[in-house]
């Protein structure tokens, strides 16, 4: 298959990479046809402009909301933002534009609700806020009194979950699942990069200087489908200036469509490739000697540890051609030190070996000298906000039987691994967990094994959620509290500490909350009152915001006058000498071998730990993003649903021909435990390996109350029943499941077209 043939396949590419300025498109005309603007044409004429911050995903782009007749009619990028394209080029992505349709989603939860039927059944009655809050406070107190503070757990994600978190801290529980954002997302990459180079390159921010890179390596990172506006702009900026690109992905992603070399790797074998590359770079002296001598520790141990990993070995394990992987590493080496080895972001793939994969990526970046240099990874600018005195932060007491005991690198983080909480809820061991609070996370669509999560939900004495939409998770709650949408509330002060310039901005309401929806700060304050916690001394969110802005000699008023955003200079992005690591130590050091890992009986250098290959008759289930949706949260959005209403299951064309599947056929996927998906259309393509089936994530909602999203496409999540927990920090794997196809009631086994070498064990299906 030649590159130009593949280019035809990446239909999503231009859509995604344009980062969607939809202002002049027919899309908007059509979209506005449904927008009730009181008979007036929408647009900026005569509209009030309110600056704020997007929360359609966590990149938090600065925005301007245009308000006409008391309604938000349009959202644009804040023209002052140095990262979204300034002035009239200020961009938001398709999702950012479509916040309007989250706000006015007819399915929104606008009143406090109390469950009437069984959990999950979706039957509720409206109750007053007083009743709802009394009920939450009463039940949390009851569980705490009977079983102790750790019997209460909190699942949270995103801005609106933060005020409520203070309640759980005051209760004294350490069982907040420190977010799907860690244990289902960045956990492994965070541990690897902090341990190797002393800072986190992939938190909310990504410190990747792709705009100035001469070459880039993306391992999985499917930029273009994974859309964070300034990140995509940096990527495209680098490419347009001629940067070379190597993409390692079993699927022909949008980014692969832009690549000089695409390596369609056997899933789960990336560390083998990286180890062979590290060995090759050392053996052929392709590394940056000055950088390694000056900043790196452990070079000779690393050299010794990787000496047997040859390109021939990796080619066999990874099912790639030796010539291709050699050409790729040479291409990257030629650009050193201005080479961007992307650290990745979502990294909870296989449970075992995920940390080593990202450790190997960090080592490769260091060998090329691509850290603290233009075009490589860079250092964040320190920005200090003022101290908040008006909220009394409580620290949870540690339990005698900590759930993270088995995981040495979950230690310094607040919260406990998600699946430790879920299993303790089911078994009562090591202690009972009897009540859950949920905010900003759709636990049934994002935490592996939703069937186990439902089992846990059934066991609870009490569960409540703060939500905007009647999602699967809301349907399983006893009390649902209606949250204000981000366009209706204050949240936080947001700083951007990257390149080309930094800034500070703030989220503020464009309109009043609809119905009886209330902002999270109000909810937390009211709950604190009822629980008897004297923690919120601020009268309003503005007070807290002003305390924070004081650190930058700003006030909310001043920030508003400045167009909602103040640009701050980026400092020290390439300054290795004055770098301070996250532990506050000055001076830049790279640990090519990690003693802390050895101290905990892990390997100090990356180790290839093969994940089991698909059992005979199955393909591995893999997943990713589509550019116009964020996880499950946007599936019911009118405009985004219109653009991308359902997902397709990507199936290799040779496999499809052998089992008689045609493009567009309706199929069902069945996993190794016999769990079946909703019907989904097949996308037959040479752009995926024969041993994988790919499902874009977030589709296939199980909530009948989401009138657009319900049963549209298939949920990857409901096929993920088997997970492996990462021995470093207890994060759970998402790519350890296998599927075959059911068509017209007949089960079709997936033929094995790529032989599996003996070094890779095979997954064994448990009977019964
Ligand atoms: N539009 C949109 N953008 C988003 C989000 C969203 O919901 N919507 N979410 C944001 C968030 S929080 C995150 S964490 C990021 C996630 O985005 P990334 O960090 O880019 O996610 P990955 O899992 O690294 O990438 C998915 C790709 O991995 C490939 N893949 C699967 N298995 C393997 C394997 O074993 N090896 C290799 N090399 N590749 C494999 C898949 O084919 C797919 O192309 O996206 C962010 N951006
Ligand atoms: N199978 C599978 N699982 C995954 C992933 C995957 O690709 N596949 N990706 C993983 C990754 S990288 C991540 S970061 C996580 C993301 O995990 P989640 O954050 O759980 O993602 P969503 O499905 O968008 O669920 C968010 C929920 O919060 C609600 N919500 C959104 N905004 C607000 C708000 O302002 N206030 C309130 N109260 N509620 C709000 C939405 O309605 C929705 O129900 O998922 C992880 N899990
Ligand atoms: S990338 Fe898109 S959805 Fe995410 S914050 Fe920016 S505009 Fe909003
Ligand atoms: Mo994520």
Instruction: Please write the tens of the pLDDT for every residue from 222-236.
Output: 999 999 999 999 999
Q: Is residue 258 located within the same domain as residue 328?
A: yes
Looking at the structure of the chain, the number of domains it has is: 4
How far is 87 from 79, CA to CA, in rounded Å? Answer: 4
How far is 64 from 37, CA to CA, in rounded Å? Answer: 18
pLDDT in tens, 137-174: 999 999 999 999 999 999 999 999 999 999 999 999 99
Is the pLDDT at 19 greater than 60, yes or no? no
**Residue 23: which CATH number?**
2.20.25.90
Q: Is residue 176 part of a domain?
A: yes
Other beta carbons within 10 Å of 729: 25
Pick the ligand that lies closest to the CA of residue 184: 2
C-alpha distances in Å from residue 357, one per residue of 364, 457, 609, 746: 11, 34, 9, 39
Q: How confident is the model at residue 412 (pLDDT cuts 50, 70, 90)?
A: low
Whole-number average pLDDT of the chain: 92
Q: Is residue 642 located within the same domain as residue 724?
A: yes
What pLDDT, on a 0 to 100 scale, did the predictor assign at position 415? 84
What pLDDT, on a 0 to 100 scale, did the predictor assign at position 768? 59
Residue 619 pairs in a beta bridge with 739
Is the pLDDT at 38 greater than 60, yes or no? no
Q: Is residue 651 part of a domain?
A: yes
Residue in 346, 332, 240 with CA at minimum distance from that of residue 286: 332
Is the pLDDT at 350 greater than 60, yes or no? yes
Are 656 and 648 a contacting pair, CB within 8 Å? no
User: What's the CA-to-centroid distance between 486 and ligand 2, angstroms?
Assistant: 15
What pLDDT, on a 0 to 100 scale, did the predictor assign at position 462? 98
| Both tokens assigned to 254 | 């949008």
Instruction: Tell me if 695 CB under 6 Å of ligand 2.
Output: no
What is the maximal distance between C-alpha atoms in the chain? 73
User: What's the CA-to-centroid distance between 440 and ligand 2, angstroms?
Assistant: 7
Q: Is residue 521 located within the same domain as residue 410?
A: yes
Q: Is residue 266 located within the same domain as residue 139?
A: no
Q: Is residue 322 part of a domain?
A: yes
Is the pLDDT at 13 greater than 50, yes or no? no
Q: Is residue 647 part of a domain?
A: yes
pTM score: 0.94
Say which residues have a Cβ less than 8 Å from residue 709's Cβ, sequence separation at least 6: 632, 635, 636, 641, 699, 701, 703
What pLDDT, on a 0 to 100 scale, did the predictor assign at position 178? 67
Q: Is residue 80 located within the same domain as residue 121?
A: no
**Residue 143: which CATH number?**
3.40.50.740
Q: Is residue 414 located within the same domain as residue 542?
A: yes
Residue of 92, 223, 224, 698 with the most ligand 3 atoms within 8 Å of its CB, for mutation: 92
Instruction: Tell me if 84 CB under 6 Å of ligand 1.
Output: no
**Residue 241: which CATH number?**
3.40.228.10
Give the pLDDT mean for 474-501: 97
Residue of 184, 220, 270 with the most ligand 1 atoms within 8 Å of its CB, for mutation: 220
Q: Is residue 294 located within the same domain as residue 317?
A: yes
**Residue 710: which CATH number?**
2.40.40.20
Residue 624's domain spans which residues? 619-748
Closest residue by Cα to atom 8, ligand 3, is 96
Instruction: Tell me if 404 CB under 6 Å of ligand 1.
Output: no
User: What's the CA-to-centroid distance between 629 and ligand 4, angstroms?
Assistant: 13
**CA 322 to chain centroid:** 33
Q: How confident is the model at residue 767 (pLDDT cuts 50, 70, 90)?
A: confident
For the chain, give the percent of residues with pLDDT over 70.
93
How far is 743 from 661, CA to CA, in rounded Å? Answer: 8
What pLDDT, on a 0 to 100 scale, did the predictor assign at position 15? 31
Q: Is residue 424 located within the same domain as residue 523?
A: yes
Residue of 164, 204, 251, 442 with the most ligand 2 atoms within 8 Å of its CB, for mutation: 442
User: What's the CA-to-centroid distance between 225 and ligand 4, angstroms?
Assistant: 13
Q: What is the DSSP letter of 185?
A: I
Cis status, amide bond into 632, omega within 30 of 0: no
Cis status, amide bond into 430, omega within 30 of 0: yes
User: What's the CA-to-centroid distance between 505 and ligand 3, angstroms?
Assistant: 15
Instruction: Tell me if 703 CB under 6 Å of ligand 2.
Output: no
How far is 713 from 698, CA to CA, in rounded Å? Answer: 9
What pLDDT, on a 0 to 100 scale, did the predictor assign at position 30? 39
Closest residue by Cα to atom 1, ligand 3, is 228
For the chain, give the percent of residues with pLDDT over 90.
88
Q: How confident is the model at residue 398 (pLDDT cuts 50, 70, 90)?
A: confident
Q: Is residue 440 located within the same domain as residue 472?
A: yes
Is the pLDDT at 373 greater than 90, yes or no? yes
More confident residue, 197 or 26: 197
User: What's the CA-to-centroid distance between 346 and ligand 1, angstroms?
Assistant: 6
What pLDDT, on a 0 to 100 scale, did the predictor assign at position 747? 98
Are 128 and 112 a contacting pair, CB within 8 Å? yes
Q: Is residue 476 located within the same domain as residue 550?
A: yes
- Burial label for 374, CB within 10 Å (0-12, 13-18, 19+), is middle
Cis status, amide bond into 742, omega within 30 of 0: no
Residue 233 pairs in a beta bridge with none
How far is 449 from 679, CA to CA, in rounded Å? Answer: 20
85 φ/ψ angles, rounded to the nearest 5 degrees:
90, 120
Q: How confident is the model at residue 24 (pLDDT cuts 50, 70, 90)?
A: very low
Q: Is residue 10 located within the same domain as residue 56?
A: yes
Q: Is residue 194 part of a domain?
A: no
Q: Is residue 291 part of a domain?
A: yes
User: What's the CA-to-centroid distance between 421 and ligand 3, angstroms?
Assistant: 31
Instruction: Tell me if 226 CB under 6 Å of ligand 2.
Output: no
User: What's the CA-to-centroid distance between 502 and ligand 1, angstroms?
Assistant: 26
Instruction: Tell me if 623 CB under 6 Å of ligand 2.
Output: yes
Tally of CA atoms within 13 A in the half-sphere of 554 that contains its CB = 28
Q: How confident is the model at residue 727 (pLDDT cuts 50, 70, 90)?
A: very high
Closest residue by Cα to atom 28, ligand 1, is 220
User: What's the CA-to-centroid distance between 61 and ligand 3, angstroms?
Assistant: 5
Indicate the SS3 state at residue 141.
helix
Q: Is residue 390 located within the same domain as residue 374?
A: no
More confident residue, 645 or 38: 645
Stated length of the chain: 768
Q: Is residue 535 part of a domain?
A: yes
How far is 187 from 200, CA to CA, in rounded Å? Answer: 11
Give the containing element (helix H, strand E) for 304.
helix 299-306
Q: Is residue 606 part of a domain?
A: no
């Amino acid at each position: 298959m030649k590159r130009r043939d593949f280019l035809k396949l990446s239909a999503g590419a231009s859509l995604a990479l344009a980062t969607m300025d939809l202002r002049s498109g027919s899309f908007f005309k059509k979209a506005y046809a449904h927008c009730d603007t009181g008979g007036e044409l929408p647009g900026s004429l005569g509209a009030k402009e309110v600056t704020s911050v997007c929360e359609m995903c966590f990149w938090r782009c600065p925005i301007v909301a245009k308000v006409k007749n008391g309604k938000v009619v349009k959202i644009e990028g804040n023209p002052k933002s140095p990262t979204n394209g300034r002035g009239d080029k200020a961009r938001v992505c398709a999702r950012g534009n479509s916040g309007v349709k989250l706000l006015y989603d007819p399915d929104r939860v606008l009143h406090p609700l109390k469950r009437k039927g069984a959990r999950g059944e979706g039957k509720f009655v409206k109750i007053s806020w007083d009743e709802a809050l009394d009920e939450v406070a009463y039940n949390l107190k009851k569980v705490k009194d009977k079983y102790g503070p750790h019997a209460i757990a909190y699942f949270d994600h995103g801005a609106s979950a933060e005020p409520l978190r203070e309640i759980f801290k005051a209760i004294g529980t350490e069982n907040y699942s420190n977010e799907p954002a860690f244990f289902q997302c960045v956990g492994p990459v965070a541990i690897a990069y902090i341990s190797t180079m002393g800072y986190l390159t992939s938190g909310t921010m990504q410190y990747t200087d792709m705009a100035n890179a001469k070459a880039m390596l993306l391992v999985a990172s499917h930029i273009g489908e994974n859309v964070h506006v300034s990140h995509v702009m940096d990527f495209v900026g680098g490419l347009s200036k001629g940067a070379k690109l190597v993409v390692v992905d079993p699927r022909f992603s949008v980014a692969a469509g832009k690549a000089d070399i695409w390596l369609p790797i056997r899933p789960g074998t990336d560390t083998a490739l990286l180890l062979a590359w590290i060995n090759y770079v050392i053996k052929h002296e392709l590394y940056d000697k000055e950088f390694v001598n000056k900043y790196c520790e452990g070079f000779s141990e690393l050299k010794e540890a990787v000496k047997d990993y040859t390109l021939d070995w990796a080619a066999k394990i990874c099912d790639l051609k030796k010539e291709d992987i050699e050409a790729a590493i040479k291409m990257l080496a030629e650009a050193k030190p201005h080479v961007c080895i992307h650290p990745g972001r979502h990294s909870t793939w296989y449970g075992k070996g995920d940390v080593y994969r990202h450790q190997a990526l960090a080592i490769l970046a260091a060998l090329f000298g691509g850290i603290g240099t233009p075009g490589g990874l860079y250092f964040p600018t320190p920005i200090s906000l003022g101290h908040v005195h008006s909220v009394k932060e409580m620290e949870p007491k540690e339990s005698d039987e900590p759930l993270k005991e088995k995981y040495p690198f979950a230690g310094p983080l607040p919260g406990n691994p998600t699946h430790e909480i879920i299993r303790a809820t089911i078994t009562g061991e090591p202690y009972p967990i009897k009540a859950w609070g949920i905010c900003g996370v759709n636990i049934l669509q994002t935490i592996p094994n939703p069937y186990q999560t439902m089992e846990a939900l059934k066991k609870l004495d009490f569960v409540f959620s703060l939500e905007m939409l009647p999602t699967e998770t809301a349907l399983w709650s006893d009390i649902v509290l209606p949250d204000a949408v981000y366009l209706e509330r204050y949240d936080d002060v947001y700083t951007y500490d990257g390149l080309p310039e930094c800034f500070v901005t703030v989220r503020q309401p464009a309109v009043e909350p609809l119905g009886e929806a209330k902002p999270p700060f109000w909810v937390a304050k009211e709950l604190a009152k009822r629980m008897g916690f004297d923690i919120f001394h601020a009268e309003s969110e503005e007070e807290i915001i002003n305390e924070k802005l004081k650190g930058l000699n700003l006030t909310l008023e001043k920030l508003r006058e400045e167009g909602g955003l103040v640009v701050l200079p980026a400092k020290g992005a390439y300054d290795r000498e004055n770098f301070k690591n996250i532990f506050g130590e000055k001076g830049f050091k790279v640990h090519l071998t990690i003693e802390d890992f050895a101290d905990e009986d892990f390997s100090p250098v990356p180790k290839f730990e093969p994940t089991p290959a698909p059992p005979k008759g199955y393909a591995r289930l893999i997943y990713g993003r589509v550019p116009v949706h964020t996880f499950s949260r946007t599936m019911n959005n009118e405009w985004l649903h219109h653009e991308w209403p359902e997902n397709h299951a990507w199936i290799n064309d040779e496999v499809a021909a052998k089992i008689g599947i045609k493009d567009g056929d309706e199929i069902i996927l069945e996993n190794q435990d016999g769990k079946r998906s909703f019907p989904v259309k097949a996308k037959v393509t040479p752009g995926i390996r024969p041993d994988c089936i790919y499902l874009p994530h977030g589709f296939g909602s199980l909530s009948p109350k989401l009138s657009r999203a319900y049963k549209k496409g298939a949920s990857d999540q409901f096929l993920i029943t088997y997970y492996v927990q990462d021995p470093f920090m207890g994060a759970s794997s998402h790519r350890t499941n296998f599927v075959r196809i059911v068509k017209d009631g007949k089960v079709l086994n997936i033929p094995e077209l790529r032989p599996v070498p003996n070094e890779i064990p095979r997954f064994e299906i448990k009977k019964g």
